[in-house]
Every structure is written in C-alpha cells, then in structure tokens.
Amino acid sequence: MKRDRHAKIIATLGPASSTPQAIEALFRAGADVFRLNFSHGTHDDHRARYEMIRQVEASIGRPIGILLDLQGPKLRVGQFAAGKIELAPGQEFRFDMDKTPGDETRACLPHPEIFSIIQVGTELLLDDGKIRVRVENHGPDYANVRVLTGGPLSDRKGLNVPGEALPISALSDKDRSDLEFGLSLGVDIVALSFVQRPEDVAEARKLVAGRALILSKLEKPQAIDFLDEIVELSDAIMVARGDLGVECPPEVVPILQKRIIETCRHQGKPVVVATQMLESMISAPAPTRAEASDVATAVYDGADAVMLSAETASGKYPLEAVSIMNKIICSVERDGYYQRIMDARAEEPETTAADAICAAARQVSATIGAKAIVTFTSSGSTTLRAARQRPPVPILCLTADIKVARRMALVWGAHGVVTADISSFADMVQSGCRIAHRDEFAHAGERVVIIAGVPFGTPGTTNILRIAWISDQH
C-alpha cells in the first residue's frame, strides 16, 4: 500500500461510508486518516466505526490514523412555536433567555455569555451567516436587534459573534464526555474545536495527557491573534474554513490559509486544509474546476493533508471524491513547478544536531538520487523534523510503537511501519534496507538515506546519517 504522493487525505465517516467494505475501499482509493465527527452520531455509532477501521487496518497490514473531531460549544437559538419564522430586512427582533418557543418577534438565546459581551452596534450572524442582525439595545438577559439581512430562521440554528472573543471554554460538557470516550477507544488524534486562545489548547492537553495528538481547529478569527502560540502548543493545526469563512470576509480566508500553513511549516507542525474542498461531489460524480484548483492550491502551499467532510460522510459519491482528490494531489506533486516551490520554501534548520541531520538528509537524498529517507524513531520527532524539510523522496517512519506509526498517517510524506526494536547500528541499516525493499520504495542497486539517534530509543537524539545500498539479499 505504498502511496505515490506526499500530501495526505482525511476522509470523514458517516451514513454513506460506515461498513468495513466501504472503509477499505476508501483506504485503498487514498484515504490515510479517518475522521469521526462527534457533532453527529452516538457513542455506539462511533465505536462501531472505530472497530471497523481497526479491522481494515489488520486485514491490510498498514497503520491507519483515526481522528476524533469534537463538536465544541455551539451557540444556538432556541426553538420556534411553528418550527420556523421569516425575518425581513429592517425588522425589529428580540433575543432573550425565556425558554418559551419563539415567534416572529422574539427567540430564546440561552447563552448569557453572549449578552455579557455584546454592545450597541454589535452584529450577530445566524445560520452560517445567512442572516445578519445588529444590536440596537441590550441588557444582561436580552438584546433588541434590527435585521440587516433577512431570511428563514428555524429551530436551533447556529449563531456567531464575529470579532468578539467569547468568555467560554473550548470544551463543553459534551466534549469532555466525548473526549474520554474517544481516548478509551484509542483514537490517535483529537481535533479541538472553537480554539480562541492558547489557554484552550493547554486545557485540552491536560485532559488528553499524551494519549493522542492534539489538532487545533482554527475557525475563530481571534485565534489568529495568537497564531504562533497556538501552533507551538498544538501537535497539528486545521484551517477550518467553514466557520472561519462565516466570521471573516471571504476574500480574507485564502490569505489566512496561506499564513497559517506558513506558520505551521516553520514550526514543523502538520497542517490540514478542510471544508468545502470538493463540496459539489456531495451530489455530483465530478468536482468543479474551481474545487480541483482549490485542492491543488493547498498542495502547492505545502499542506500536510486535505480533508473531505460531507463528501464522504453523507454524499452520493464518497469513493469518487477520495479518488479524484488522490489524482489531484499526485498530479500536482509530479509537476516540476511543485518541487521548485518546495525547494524555494525549504525551512532553515534550527541550531540543533537533529535539525542539521534532517536538513542534510534532504540535501543528500536529492544529490545522490536516493529513493527514500528512512527514519528510526520512538516518538515520531525524527520523522516530523524530516518532513519539515519537504524532501523530494518518501520518508519511511520505522517505529516499535503502533501508536506512533498511526499518528504519522497525518504527516506529509511519512509512511509508518511497525518494526521490532533496534539494538545496534548494524540492525538499523539492515532493517531499514529490508523494509524499503519489501515495501517497494527502493530496489536492488538503489540507495536510501538512513537517519536515527544513538543511543537507540532516546527521543530527540537524531545524530546519525548513513547512505545504504539495497542489495538482492534485502
């Protein structure tokens, strides 16, 4: 199951893709990580999908990453007596804390934290920004607003307060329950929604306690003010363009996407571009040209992964969506312009032995035409450092820890392999050559670059580089 590309694909599971056969087909088509979206479904649903993924992993013999995506605290209006109302531009309307079903004049907004931060003139967005209202006057438990952009509003639609940092935790009570459940299953990555400040990531890190990677979803513009700090505290980042696009002008989202990717590349943290990548394929068998270009742009920018949401969870063509995304990535990465971009944006190594070795591995592999860089790692840090350099060849991540191998499914260019512990330098070279040959990364007479740390099994000690030939015996 050798991938002929560096960028990875995350596929969301849902009603359209929840059988072992469907999951295996998606994996074979190119999905590297499967996302369990805890905004939908029950714990039993997610347990069943988790077990299916692990069945597929065992039958194929390749580590597969599983991402738990927490819902985050959702701000929603209450219910309406008729289930739905129509708001007209210029109309006056009222939000309050009264849980009585709403009507054409008022609705319940059961979030006192919103009333505590709004001011006269604050604009509120409803139903993913389709409806816009402005606060005319307010109190501790109400807000009278004027409708700027009208439309239908139905039960429990979402609400956004653009430009304001909300005084609430990124983890709701539901999230805490979902998090413990997911960690008990053994998920590899936890996606943290509604991140506004570094403290949100620190809070989650205490709860996760090293049991999974933490991926911070940047969907609030306020998070951009703390971008460097949030990236530093996180294991990975997601450009969550859906909510980001609600609270930011659409013309700003592409700029933020490039800025976030660049920051993650600099810090050596995996970065995912998500939402509406192949949106039309929810109901159509082929993407639009603009969508294909959107995926390609994320790959040219150096993203570690691109993500499919409803396309694979509930769409009519989940397999086709993964297949075309795989084709787009492969096409971009075969383009000579792509490698020139990667070369031009190569990160300067930090002043450490580990970074010097990884930068040298990139240079040596390009100079001698090596077929792969082989990393031996107990924590994954060597592979991450090698991926930060964006070498022109695949990165084999050899590790004795299945958890590390699964986490590498998210990392650009990384191919995780579980192998026995290495006890000597000779074992390292022999094992690296054998696996590179077995998995068809290199053939007899070709070379690989091997990097590792001595003493073995000590995280962060990358200090050896070796060029090795593949022989017929491997």
- What pLDDT does residue 453 have? 80
- What pLDDT does residue 164 have? 84
pLDDT tens digit sequence for 49-99: 999 999 999 999 999 999 999 999 989 999 999 999 999 999 999 999 999
Domains, in order of start, for the chain: 8-72+170-334 (3.20.20.60), 84-160 (2.40.33.10), 353-469 (3.40.1380.20)
Whether 457 has a pLDDT exceeding 70, the answer reads no
Whether 351 has a pLDDT exceeding 90, the answer reads no
361 and 386 in contact (C-beta within 8 Å)? Answer: yes
Active site (annotated) includes residue 340: no
- What pLDDT does residue 461 have? 72
Q: Choose the catalytic residue: 275, 312, 375, 382.
A: 275
Give the residue-averaged pLDDT of 28-37: 98
- What pLDDT does residue 459 have? 67
Between 242 and 390, the higher pLDDT residue: 390
Q: Choose the catalytic residue: 35, 62, 106, 241.
A: 35
Q: Choose the catalytic residue: 3, 217, 390, 406.
A: 217
Instruction: Give percent above pLDDT 70 in the chain.
Output: 99
pLDDT tens digit sequence for 270-300: 999 999 999 999 999 999 999 999 999 999 9
Active site (annotated) includes residue 217: yes
Q: Choose the catalytic residue: 28, 47, 74, 76.
A: 76
- What pLDDT does residue 349 have? 86
Strands 123-126 vs 462-469: parallel, antiparallel or unpaired: unpaired
Between 353 and 416, the higher pLDDT residue: 416
Active site (annotated) includes residue 76: yes
- What pLDDT does residue 277 have? 96
Active site (annotated) includes residue 19: no
pLDDT tens digit sequence for 135-173: 999 999 999 999 999 999 999 999 999 888 888 999 999
Give the sign of the dihedral formed by CA 102, CA 105, CA 109, CA 110.
negative
Q: What is the mean pLDDT of the chain?
A: 94
